Structure 1
């Protein structure tokens, strides 16, 4: 939808997502191999599971499946985070959720920039998990000052990108020519640079403190460190990656395999060792490990009650494992997950009746045909039982802190985990962001409520909620 000749932010987001994917395929050719593997597995899953295809058609996800991907970046300062928020706003993306990864040994806190309305998500579900380095967690004061000084001397945005962001805010939109220019300029923020901004000795000091700190501080910008396509069968992806010359991480993060997937499951291939040139060097004599390939399988968004049950079962599993999930205990971890998650209902109807997940509701042809009936169901459960209303799970659009930390750690090296005594600080994150993050549970509840009200209107019934 266009206003005053402006391009819809949703269209800009879709254009940017496509351009980002093309850029990353050029930078990391193995990502192209991964995309083809995911496409092949998705085709296989849909060919073998007609009911899955039916579900995807009802929700409209079958059209957006090939578009599904998320990216991840890490920024170093409050100004960078605040400006990246403004940049994503041009694409209709807002900060959703707060994630403290320091409790899992990663010195960042994060949010996810994404579209928030189901109609906007249908156009492009692209999202970017964005982390801010917590400099206060660097216990070496001299190193902290070095990192602060290096970050203060860089600008991760082009001058033209800043101009176009300000123009969007001033005028309320961008025309097609300016939108094209914006996508081109914004891509520069996420591009990989082989030239580091630090000496080899400075890089080593940052790296020895934490490998992620070196990744954030030592380069010109927050290079996109992965893009993530969505699969319909992550276990088959995990098993098939070696056949395509891809080495997967040991453990699939998130809940166990289920008939009715919930939340988010993720895996990845190991981060690449890439040649870089440090300040004072002639030629790319050094190396850096940061960028990797990730795959996700998304399931139902859980309510607060459902999340509490999920968190309790995951905590019980990890307590029983007694160590961080890794290659050596991967099989035992999978067995413990499956055993403990037996207590989480594995059926959409039971999840709905127990209030464990969010759903979208749709009027069926039978429901439309019965609108003129004098005697007909008039409450939601009765409408569902009569076949007048159908429900499908709302896709989880967000992230899991433990899984994000697990992906980070597996690609930074298992010995990269640290322990920080400082607790999470959402107030500081909001101050750096220049806004408050949105509550993802409220967004899901709003989408569910809108779908029920649409059913009410279609069936000529009083509001069902």
Structure 2
């Protein structure tokens, strides 16, 4: 008999992440090759950098490394966004952060659905960067009306998925049998469809406006367009990709290579050109690509301000969008400017640039009942009673995300939109406020400090 006990949302998310990865590997064989390359690289790094291996062991990150994934989808309507939010909620995923990509010429704004508590992230760090098309940025009124009509007609969720979402909301969860069915049904939303819902001419009109608009409007559903594993050395993977028959993009997005990585670095292979059937002809479409990421320490508001300042200075000096032609110059400028950002965790912590987690050590626990035990956090750290580890960045970089978008949409896709961020409109469509990611890091850091004090002082 099936149990009526509810499955943890974290376990549902873990199961869904694996099912998504299996589906994407079947659909995009190069993704499997990329996964194998990342696994090889991670094994080599752990074997040759024992200090890093020990750090990941202490923080528990080593257990989640192989299953770490983020995906990305693009939605067309407020209903789709609100409903995908309900679907992700069944898996314990909440909307974190608001990203306006219009300054980079991409007509969307976005959030990242993910788990928000460190224990949930250890079970499954799966996250989905979810974008909503901004139809108001389509300049041609007839084309805008056509896009709106096309999007209203489609239903990207199966009837059974919608029923299970409603069931989970009413019962505050799903049992094991229903959870398995939910994963199967939810997966259909993210599946690739070889048939477009528009004619070749209509597709071309949408594509001429922006290739991303065609990607959203011309299909039955929001196919997952990449699924990203986490590497411990993105430069090694980037250098090894051509030898595996994978052509990487010219520039790794994000900060330059450092001893102590910060925030997020990303690279990808170019989008595949895939055969599709329009309603009146055969053709092709490129949207899906392979991406990898390397995650570093989460930065505080002060650290983020310094990061933005140095990144902008390097790009201003470059005077152009980073491309294959200026990649070497861009890397040189980034390394030059980022010398102003401390490259060790001690200085980052002392200067309040990054977030950290604190752990009571065996030495500290052994000295717990001693009368002269240090009392303040700094004294405990100095005495070796508390260890400090960097808090991994769980989110995305707006500039980085836009760079990945542009590199895979082609240079001709670059458009120029006024920087008209509209968080209120996005949150209205979503049906709730997005969560400030910096608050989450601050809370995680504070919880770890309180746990140390409790463990050492009772």
TM-score range, shorter chain: over 0.9
Show structure 1 runs of 4+ deviating over 2 A.
none
| Counterpart Cα distance in 1 of 2:227 and 2:197 | 24
The answer as to 2:386 corresponding to 1:389 is yes
Give the structure 2 partner of residue 260 of structure 1.
260
Unaligned runs of 5+ in 2: none
Deviation at 1:373, TM superposition (A): 1.4
Deviation at 1:420, TM superposition (A): 1.1
Alignment equivalent of 1:429, drawn from 392, 414, 426: 426
| Counterpart Cα distance in 2 of 1:184 and 1:404 | 28
| Counterpart Cα distance in 1 of 2:48 and 2:33 | 23
Q: Provide, for residues 106-153 of structure 1, a one-character-per-residue CA deviation record: whole Å limited to 9, x for no partner.
A: 000000000000000000000000000000000110100000000010
Unaligned runs of 5+ in 1: none
Give TM-score scaled by structure 2 length.
Answer: 0.99
Give the 5 Å matches for 1:222-233: 222-233=222-233
| Counterpart Cα distance in 1 of 2:280 and 2:242 | 39
Give the structure 2 partner of residue 415 of structure 1.
412
Aligned length: 456
Give the structure 1 partner of residue 170 of structure 2.
170
**Conserved? CA contact 1:137–1:422, under 8 Å:** no
Alignment equivalent of 1:357, drawn from 350, 354, 357: 354
Deviation at 1:280, TM superposition (A): 2.3
Give the structure 2 partner of residue 96 of structure 1.
96
Give the 5 Å matches for 1:56-75: 56-75=56-75
Deviation at 1:4, TM superposition (A): 6.1
Deviation at 1:414, TM superposition (A): 1.5
Deviation at 1:355, TM superposition (A): 0.6
Q: Provide, for residues 398-450 of structure 1, a one-character-per-residue CA deviation record: whole Å limited to 9, x for no partner.
A: 00000000000000002211111360100000000001000000000000000
The 3-state SS of whatever aligns with 1:310 is: helix
Give the structure 2 partner of residue 371 of structure 1.
368
Give the structure 2 partner of residue 54 of structure 1.
54
| Counterpart Cα distance in 2 of 1:378 and 1:236 | 44
| Counterpart Cα distance in 1 of 2:162 and 2:4 | 22
Give the structure 2 partner of residue 118 of structure 1.
118
Q: Provide, for residues 153-197 of structure 1, a one-character-per-residue CA deviation record: whole Å limited to 9, x for no partner.
A: 000000000000000011110001100000000000000000000
Give the structure 2 partner of residue 328 of structure 1.
325
The 3-state SS of whatever aligns with 2:240 is: helix
Give the structure 2 partner of residue 219 of structure 1.
219
Change (3 A) 1:304 1:414: same
Q: Provide, for residues 332-357 of structure 1, a one-character-per-residue CA deviation record: whole Å limited to 9, x for no partner.
A: 00000000000000000110111100
| Counterpart Cα distance in 2 of 1:162 and 1:31 | 29
| Counterpart Cα distance in 2 of 1:104 and 1:351 | 29
The 3-state SS of whatever aligns with 1:266 is: strand
Give TM-score scaled by structure 1 length.
Answer: 0.97
Deviation at 1:65, TM superposition (A): 0.2
The answer as to 2:127 corresponding to 1:127 is yes
Give the structure 2 partner of residue 290 of structure 1.
287
| Counterpart Cα distance in 2 of 1:181 and 1:194 | 24
Alignment equivalent of 1:447, drawn from 404, 429, 444: 444
